[in-house]
Amino acid sequence: MKVLITGGTSGIGKKTVELLSSNGHEVIFSGRDEKRAKHLEQATGAQFILCDISTVEGCAHLTQQYFDLHESCDVLINNAGLWSEGTIDNTSVREIEKVFAINTIAPIILSKYFIAKMKDSIDSGIQDHSKLIFVNSIAGLTSKAQREVYSSSKWAITGFTRGLSDELSEHKISVTNLCPGAVDTELFEHGGYPRDTSSMMDPIAVANAIKYIVDQPRDVKIKELAIQPSNYI
C-alpha cells in the first residue's frame, strides 16, 4: 500500500513510519523537522516531504508535492497534532488558532484534497479502494477542565469522520476515527507543556492499531477505535 502520514518525524508518526515500512508498505511522511526526517528516511527507506501544514497554503503545497511524486494514494493518515492545556483565560488567541489550524483545519483540508484524487484513481481503476485514518484522541470523545481547547479541536474531527465515513462508503473509501489515550511521546513538550510521560502507553501500541486498520481488506471498515493504557481510566 502507498501510505502518506502527516507528522511522521516523532512519536506515534515515527513509530508508524517504521512499522509500515518494515512490513512492505511504501511510506511517505511529512513534517517540518528535516534533521529527524533525514535519519528516519535513512533507517526506513520511507520518503520525506517537508511541509508546515498550519496554513491552507501549506496543506495545498503538501498535496501538490505528494501528487507530483506519486500517481495515487491508498492511505492518508492525518496524524500531525499539537497539544494545548490551561484555563481559557490563560490560553492566548494565537494558541487557540494554532491548535485548530493543525488539529482540525489541516486534516479536513488535506482530506478534501486527497479524497478528490482518490475518487479519480478508483473511478479510473488505478486502485480499488482507499482509506483515511485520523489519529484523533480520547479527548475527541470526552472533555475535562483546562483541556477544552485541545478537546474541542479533536471533537470536531469526531464529527467530521462520522459523517464522512457514511458519505464515502459508496465511493470505496473507508474512514477511521482512531482515538488513543495518553501516549508516551513529546506531544506535551512540543506544545510547551512538558510532563512526565513514563506511565503512558508506548506509541508502538498506536502504530500497531494503525497497521491493523491499514491491513483490513476492502470489504471491512473500522469506523472508530479507542485504545488506552490499561492503568488509566
Ligand X SMILES: NC(=O)c1ccc[n+]([C@@H]2O[C@H](COP(=O)([O-])OP(=O)(O)OC[C@H]3O[C@@H](n4cnc5c(N)ncnc54)[C@H](OP(=O)(O)O)[C@@H]3O)[C@@H](O)[C@H]2O)c1
Least Å from the CB of residue 41 to ligand X: 13
Least Å from the CB of residue 71 to ligand X: 24
- Which residue, 76 or 200, is less far from ligand X as judged by CB? 200
CB atoms inside a 10 Å sphere around CB 148: 18
- Which residue, 100 or 168, is less far from ligand X as judged by CB? 100
Q: Which residues bind ligand X (CB under 6 A)?
A: 7-13, 31-33, 52-54, 79-82, 102, 135, 137, 180, 182-183, 185-187, 190, 200
Least Å from the CB of residue 29 to ligand X: 8
Considering only CA atoms, which of 211, 214, 119 is closest in space to residue 173? 119
- Which residue, 130 or 185, is less far from ligand X as judged by CB? 185
Considering only CA atoms, which of 147, 138, 135 is closest in space to residue 229? 138
- Which residue, 41 or 121, is less far from ligand X as judged by CB? 41
Least Å from the CB of residue 122 to ligand X: 27
- Which residue, 127 or 152, is less far from ligand X as judged by CB? 152
Q: Which three three-digit cell numbers place residue 224?
A: 472508530
Considering only CA atoms, which of 60, 52, 39 is closest in space to residue 80? 52
- Whole-number Cα distances in Å, 135 to 6, 88, 181, 226: 10, 25, 11, 10
Least Å from the CB of residue 129 to ligand X: 24
Least Å from the CB of residue 181 to ligand X: 6
- Which residue, 73 or 77, is less far from ligand X as judged by CB? 77
Considering only CA atoms, which of 224, 87, 228, 229 is closest in space to residue 144? 87
CA distance 46 to 40: 7
CA distance 205 to 227: 8
CA distance 5 to 181: 20
Work out the burial of residue 21: count CB atoms within 10 Å of its CB; fewer than 13 is exposed, 13-18 middle, 19 or more buried.
Answer: buried
Which residues pair with residue 226 across a beta bridge?
179
